[in-house]
Structure formats: C-alpha cells, structure tokens
Chains A and B, each alone.
Chain A
Amino acid sequence: MSMTRLALQNFKTSARNYLSLVVSLAFTILIFFNFQCVIDSDAFDVLGEKNRRNMDISIQVITVVLICFMIFFIWYATNVFLTRRKREIGIYVFMGLTNQKIGQLYMVETSLIGLSSLVLGLGVGMLTSQLFQMVLVRLSDIAVEIRFRLSLGPVWRVAAMYLPIYLIFVVKGYANIVRSSVLELVSASRKNEFVRQSTGLLAVKAVLGVGTLSAGYYLALKDGGMEVMNNVLAAVVLVIIGVYLLFGGMIPLLVQGMAGRKRFLYKKERTLWVNNIIFRMKRNYRTYAMVAVLMLCSVTALAMGFAMKNRYTEMEHFRGTWQYQVMGIQDGLDKELRGIIKEDNEIACSGEIPLLLFQEDVVESMYEHRGYGALSWSAVRGLAREAGLEFSVPEPGDDEVVNVTQLYLMSLITNKSDITVTIDGRPYRQVQETSVPYLGIFQEHISFYMVNDRIYEKMRPLGAEVYLYNYRIADPENFAAGRDKLKGLHDRQPERYQGCTFADPTASDAAWIKVLYSICIFMFMVFVLASGSILFMRIYNDAFEDRARYTGLYKIGVERRVLGRAVAHELLFTYAGPFLVMTVSSWFSVHALGKVMSTDLLAVNIVSVLVILVFYTGCYFFSLPFYRRNAGID
C-alpha cells in the first residue's frame, strides 16, 4: 500500500478524532476570511472616505492581530495533535517503516486535515460573510443595505496566508518525527517522569511571578503624563510574564503543598484530583497561562469597544450642542444674527459669551496647544444654563484655573493633579478639568482656562476680548440652509464679525469609531471562543491518557461515580484557574483603559467577566461527558 493510500485510509477511519482539530482550524480561517471580506466590501463606503480609511487601518491592525493569533493557534493545535499522533503512528516502526516514512505519513495526514479545514472554513465563511457584515453594520448602528457579493480576493488572501503558515508547522512536525528515537515514537505520550517539581524552583518562580504581576498591576494603575504609554506597554509584558510564572510556579506550589498535607489530601476523591492536577500542571501550565492571557485580551477588547462607543456618543453630543457659532468683535449682535438664522430655521436655544483670546507667549503650560483663552466663571455658568448643560464647577480661587478642554478619543495623560499653568508670569493651579461642551466644537480649537470674574477682569489687557454667539437649531437636518448666509458675514462686515464655526450634526466623520466598537465586540467573542476551545482540546486529549489509570481504578473497586466526581473537580480547576487569574487581572487592565479613555468601564468589566463565566460554565459541562467517554469512565 502506498504512503498516500495509507494516510488516506487513516484519515477516513480516524475522521472523528480529527474533528476537533479540523473544526478549530476552520474556525480561525472563518474569522480571518470574514475580516478580509469586510476590507473588500463596499458596504462601508457610505460612511465617506475619511471613515473608510480609518476603518481600513483599524481592520488592517486587527488583521495583523488575527494573523498572530492564527500562527499561535495552528502551532498549538498541530503540536497537541503531533504528540498524540506520534505514538499512534509510531507503532509502524515495528513494521519496518523508517522515521522518514512515518514522517511522510504524518505530513500527508496533516496536510489532508489542513486542506479540509481550509475548505470548511472558506465554505462556511462564504455563507456567513454577509451575515457577519450585517451584524457588524447593525451593531455599529449604520443604515446600509448589505448585498450578497462573492469575490475571490479574500479567498486567495486567506489561502495565501494560511497555507504557508500551516505548511511550516507540518514540516516542523515531520522534522520532529524524523529526529525522534524509536523509544520516543513508541512512548511519546508516556513520559510521566518528574510528576512533582522541585519545591525550590517553584518557590523562586512563584516569588518572581507575584513580583512581576504586582509590578505589572502597579504600572497599569499608575497615573502619569506621557510616560503612561511606556508604563502600559511594560504592564502588558509584565502581566503576561507574571501570569506564566503564576501558572508555572505559584499555583503548582500551592497544589503540591496541598498534596503534601496528607491529612488534608486523604478526603474521599480529593487525593485523586489533587494528584492529577499536579501531574497536569507540569505539562499544561503554558496552556492555562495562554488561555488566561487570551481571556484577558478578550475582556480588554470588549472594554475598548465600549469605551470607544461612549466616547463617540459624547463626541456627538459635543458637536450637537451648537450648530452655528459666530465670533463677533462687539456685543449686542444677537438680534441681527437671530434674524438671519430665523429666515430658514427655528432656534431651539442660544447664548452668548465673552472670550479672552490670549496673545502668543502669554500662557506657558506643560503641553503645547494651538491657542489659549480665558473664560469668566459666571459667564460660563450663564451659558450652561441657557444650553441646559450641567455646571458643577465651583468658583475658582484667585490663583486657580479650570481647564475647559476638548474631548480626546484617548488621552495618555492620566495624572491630572499638580498641573500649574503660568499666565503672564503668574502661576495658577489647575484645580479641575472639564470637557462639558459649553463652547461646542469651538472648544476643539482653543484651550480655555476658566477663572473667577475678578481675575478675568485683571487678565483683560493680556489679550483680545471677543464675543461668541451660539445657536442650536430645532431641525438639525436643515443645517445647511442658514450656513451660507452666516458664512458671508465676515466678508460683508469685517468690523463687526471675525468668523464663524459650524458643526454639521448630520456629518458622521467619526462613524468609524462605531464600526470599531462592533469589531471589538467581535474580537471579544473570537478570543473567548478560542480560549474555550484551547482548553477543550487539551482536556479532550488528556482524557485519552487517563484511560489506563481509570480502568485500573475501576478494577480495584473504585466506583464510576467516584471517578466522575474526581474528574469533575479536576476539570473545574482547569477552567476556574485561568478564569480567576483573568478576572483579577482584567480589573487592572480595564481600569487602566478606563483612565486613558476617561470613562468608567467597571460595568463592562463585570458584564464581560460574567459572559465568560457563563460561557466557561457551558464549556465545563460540555467537556465533562467527553472526558468521561475518552477516559473510559462511561
């Protein structure tokens, strides 16, 4: 029989065993393919060129993340498969096959699996790509009709990306088999030596792990200026290393400690599952750490999505506060302006406010800004009342200012205390920062400091005082009608008007943020599903290894339900361990993100952890019967 025929026969007879591998590989292809279809799709063109460009950049970034994820997933899946398959096909060594021949057999079989996964992934992907885009559009709250369109571009791109990666791991597996000794081939999964790890080594790892993790958590929470970016990057690296060391040191140390206390250990089936966990930890700790990190990524991705959405809503609100803003050189121009606007629109509310625009070099602040101005506290309070905006700023003292700032998508400066601003050589302490849109989008152009009325009067000689006339119209859809008339004011009466600012409420130049929000939700689901399936794959394969143990126990009279309980505890640990580590770590990561995005994400954190809890509980109950069946308990 030729090698290909033998491999084909193996593939056919063991199709059920390969199923978990095929499905998980197909899943990664499916995700990748759907994202590629979004890049190709014209559905989002409706958002305009700027949005489309921003969105494409975001999707490119996510594609890079997905490629990394795909490499990792293929590596993991083929590795798990190789360990198991090596022993199964290693038996051919007794039939006179050389390592090279066995390696070839493995290569053909694995290639068949890879191709089946590709076909399945692309097939399901083609069927679901429209659905995926529809969900994306729906979540993003964009009114676009999705047309079913099949283009070959994404198919080629996915195949071109997936096949070489897969091939590398197939060749790696082949090299592994060729270099294996006969003994390794025959007993590849029976290396049960060194069940217990050296306590000293574990203690060192545990101390390092706790130290690294604490440092990571500390950096994530630490407030700061521009160095926050470095802190966040360092925190990410430290938390990942810390989680690995936690599963490689601290947790095995604790479990080994439990096993060392015999009076505690000898309690019904506890002796079975505690010892089994110790045995598993040695080999699986990387998997558990990986799963915890993946879940952490998923929660952070979701939090990111929600933070983006919150910010988008606030930005919309920012732009919706005033539609027409006219800067006049004198006061008392409201009547004339009202007359012009009322020709086309009904005014919902309006208000005017004097502004002091500082000359250059009057203000020295920590961060350079395009322009600076001053506002009097009572004038802002009055304008807020007119516009129906909240105003909870206490009157600043004589040496205090309140920064009235624009809304940033994200701000790296998380330490807002101890900021001093020097105006005309005199230092003022910044006591508060507010991004309530009192001045609408005008706030995006100039950084204003709110001071008390006395100080405002004193500051007058430092700049030019102008008057800002603000109007919100009743029908934002009719925005364009009055705009052109107001635009010409400056040209017609330059002695009275300095310029106009318009905020088009119908413009959606930040709509890409909404799309990013739905992509973040999707990434959350992808990462959670992936982490669950990695654990499931691990459990599924580990169970085969336990078959001989459980058969022996059954023979000496251990009841199946006792074995079932031991398995239930062991699997509970397998799922709960990474979950708990993720839950604790996620609080820090989401909290840090919340600070950068200036929003409270605790609720998102809790909800996402609960979603994962529900999903993992499902995975746990789903895994139990598979484990019992594979381990020969049922």
Chain B
Amino acid sequence: MNDSKVLEIRNLTKDYGSKGFSTTVLKGIDLSVCRGDFIAIMGPSGSGKTTLLNILSTIGRPTMGSVWLDGKDITQIRNRELSKLRRDKIGFVFQDYNLLDTMTLQDNIALPLALNGVPGKECIERSEELAGQFGLAEHLKKYPYQLSGGQKQRGAACRALVTKPEIVFADEPTGALDSRSSRDLLECLKGVNDGGRATILMVTHDAYSASYAKDVYILNDGLIQCRISRGKDRKEFYDRIIEMQASLGGDFS
C-alpha cells in the first residue's frame, strides 16, 4: 500500500441471504483513499452505500475482497483488534449524533481520549481546541438536550476527530439537520480537511453535502459507476453532481 494511502478497498463483494437465495449488494468495489482526501459516496437507495460503510467501519464483514487500513487487512483481523482499530484509527459521525445524553458536551468530546488513557490535561486541551474550531466553545458545559441538532452534530464531529484518526467515516451527517446547520457542519469538516487534519469519507444522498467533498463517487447497483472531482468552484461542482444524478436516474433520497 502506498504511503499516502490511508484506505484501500480491493474487489469488495457482499452477499446477503443463504445459498440459492442470496442477493449481491456489493459487486467488487475498488477504491483508494489517500491522506487529506474528502470523499463523498452517493447513490440511490439500495445501491449498497450503508453496506459499504458498515464494512469499512468494521461493523460488517465482506463476502469477498479486502480492506486495507493502516497496513492491515481489516477483513482478516480478530474482533479484539478490530475494536482497537476502531478506537484508534477511525472516527465516526452518525446521522443521529449518538452523543451520550448523560454527559456534557465536553465529556462527550473527550470520551474517546479518556478511554484511550490520554492524560486528563491533554483531554481538556484537545476537547477545548476542537470545540473552538467547531464554534462550540461556549457550549462545552451543556448537555445534549440543551443543544440544537447542528450543535450536537458538530459535537459528534469533534468527538470523531479528537483522537486524530487516520480516517473519519460520516454516515449521512446532515440527514437530520436543517440547511443552515448542514452548512455550518460541512464548513467545519471542510475546514479541518483543508487544514490537513482529517481524511473524510462521507456517505450521503444529498448533492449539496457532497459538493463539499473533493471527490464524489457514485455507487449504483453494487458498483462504483463514476467519480467526479471538485475542481475550484463548489457551485459548479454541485451542478455537475446534480447532472450526474439525473443521468443515472433512481431514487437518491
């Protein structure tokens, strides 16, 4: 694996069901993610986006193929190591935030660091630093129920980034947000990506969210159909994504 490559997917296949009644959801995906990439994967419903993300997140296992992360084929390693890998190398952002309602925002952000045994002082500094970047400095002492959806999702992004993971997987991060909150979150993600501090792989059905990525891969019928790169203008990139969606047809919601 190339040094700058963070993640490499080779011939990834996934079947569901038992013999004779199986459905192939992923039909041999090949994809490389390099350090500093911001990739969006789009596709209509049933195209295999969630299955792909589950396998990459080590939550699901493929039927065939390999996924190389940090020099290891994650499809071959044991559960214990997988947990360690998830904890140390991967950051997650979910559509429903998954913040713990029993903790303050700061405790939520610092949680992965504390669990990794990082000294308290460093946990505090890093959580405050990231919260500052994501415009949450004033909300650190609040509980999730005291925050808006956008603030919660930015908090979840901070939590994903606080361990400085090799890659962040974002599963429909704007799915539950209004347009303004979505924009705030995406601007923040783009900011940390542009600053070279995060490699992001985002699954989304929303063309607007995808337009913040550097590259968009369109997944359809279990295969990557095409790749669109941003160039300089985000608006123009957005138009191209919409065009591509239209040409492929199907339900992208």
- A interface list, Cβ under 8 A from B: 192-193, 195-196, 259, 262-272, 275-276, 278-279, 549, 552-553, 555-560, 562
Contacts and interface: CB of A to CB of B under 8 A. Distances in A.
B12 interface: no
B143 A195 contact: yes
Contacts, number: 95
Given A271-B103, A276-B102, A555-B92, A266 B113 contact: yes
Closest 6 CB pairs of A and B: A557-B86, A263-B120, A552-B98, A557-B87, A266-B114, A279-B102
Contacts of B167: none
Nearest to B117: A268
B115 A269 contact: yes
Contact of A553 (B100, B101, B121): B100
Contact of B120 (A264, A275, A549, A558): A264
A73 to B, nearest CB: 29
A263 B106 CA distance: 12
A552 B117 CA distance: 20
B159 interface: yes
Given A556-B92, A558-B87, A266 B110 contact: yes
A279 to B, nearest CB: 4
A242 B120 CA distance: 35
Given A549-B101, A555-B92, A557-B90, A272 B111 contact: yes
Given A268-B115, A549-B101, A557-B90, 15 more contacts: A195-B143, A263-B119, A264-B120, A265-B107, A266-B123, A267-B120, A271-B115, A275-B107, A555-B57, A555-B92, A555-B98, A557-B87, A558-B83, A559-B84, A560-B83
Interface in B108-151: 110-115, 117-121, 123-124, 143, 145
B94 interface: yes
Contact of A262 (B57, B98, B101, B110): B110
B248 interface: no
Contacts of B1: none
8 contacts: A262-B107, A262-B120, A267-B120, A268-B117, A557-B85, A557-B112, A558-B87, A562-B115
Interface in B147-200: 159-160
Contacts of A265: 107, 114, 120
A270 B102 CA distance: 13
Nearest to B91: A556
Contacts of A276: 102
B83 A557 contact: yes
B114 A267 contact: yes
B102 A558 contact: no
A366 B7 CA distance: 93
Contacts of B86: 556-557
Contacts of B115: 268-269, 271-272, 558, 562
B77 interface: no
B102 A275 contact: yes
B187 to A, nearest CB: 23
A549 B102 contact: yes
Pick from B92, B114, B117 the residue with the most CB of A within 10 Å.
B114
Interface of B is mostly: helix
Given A192-B101, A263-B121, A555 B113 contact: no
A309 B121 CA distance: 60
B246 interface: no
A553 B87 CA distance: 10
Contacts of A278: 102
Given A262-B120, A265-B120, A549 B100 contact: yes
A196 B143 contact: yes
Contacts of B124: 262-263, 266
Interface residues of B, number: 37
A271 B107 contact: yes
Interface string B16-35: 00000000000000000000
Pick from A272, A556, A558, A562 the residue with the most CB of B within 10 Å.
A556
A195 B84 CA distance: 31
Contact of B145 (A192, A555, A556, A557): A192
A270 B159 CA distance: 17
A262 B159 contact: no
A588 B84 CA distance: 50
Interface string B201-244: 00000000000000000000000000000000000000000000
Contacts of B94: 552, 555
A17 B229 CA distance: 54
A559 to B, nearest CB: 4
Interface string B57-92: 101000000000000000000001001111110101
A553 B111 CA distance: 10
Contacts of A267: 114, 120
Contacts of B117: 268
A556 B112 contact: yes
A558 B159 CA distance: 13
Nearest to B111: A271
A268 B101 contact: no
Nearest to A271: B114
Contacts of A562: 115
Nearest to A196: B143
Pick from A192, A262, A562 the residue with the most CB of B within 10 Å.
A262
Nearest to A262: B124
Contacts of A195: 101-102, 143, 145
B102 A555 contact: no
Contact of A556 (B84, B98, B114, B119): B98
A264 B88 CA distance: 22
A553 B102 CA distance: 13
A549 B120 CA distance: 23
A64 B215 CA distance: 76
A96 to B, nearest CB: 28
A263 B121 CA distance: 6
Contacts of A192: 101-102, 145
A562 B83 CA distance: 11
B174 to A, nearest CB: 19
Contacts of A559: 80, 83-84, 87
A262 B101 CA distance: 18
Contacts of B100: 272, 275, 549, 552-553
A553 B103 CA distance: 13
Given A271-B111, A275-B103, A266 B120 contact: yes
Given A268-B114, A271-B114, A553-B100, A262 B106 contact: yes
A259 B145 CA distance: 18
Contacts of A268: 114-115, 117
A259 B102 CA distance: 11
Nearest to B122: A266
B114 A193 contact: no
A272 B114 CA distance: 10
B59 A555 contact: yes
Nearest to A566: B115
A29 to B, nearest CB: 37
A284 to B, nearest CB: 13
A23 to B, nearest CB: 30
A195 B160 CA distance: 24
A264 B114 CA distance: 10
Pick from A193, A259, A557, A560 the residue with the most CB of B within 10 Å.
A557
A193 B80 CA distance: 35
A74 B118 CA distance: 48
B201 to A, nearest CB: 15
B92 A270 contact: no
Contacts of A263: 119-121, 124
A567 to B, nearest CB: 13
B111 to A, nearest CB: 6
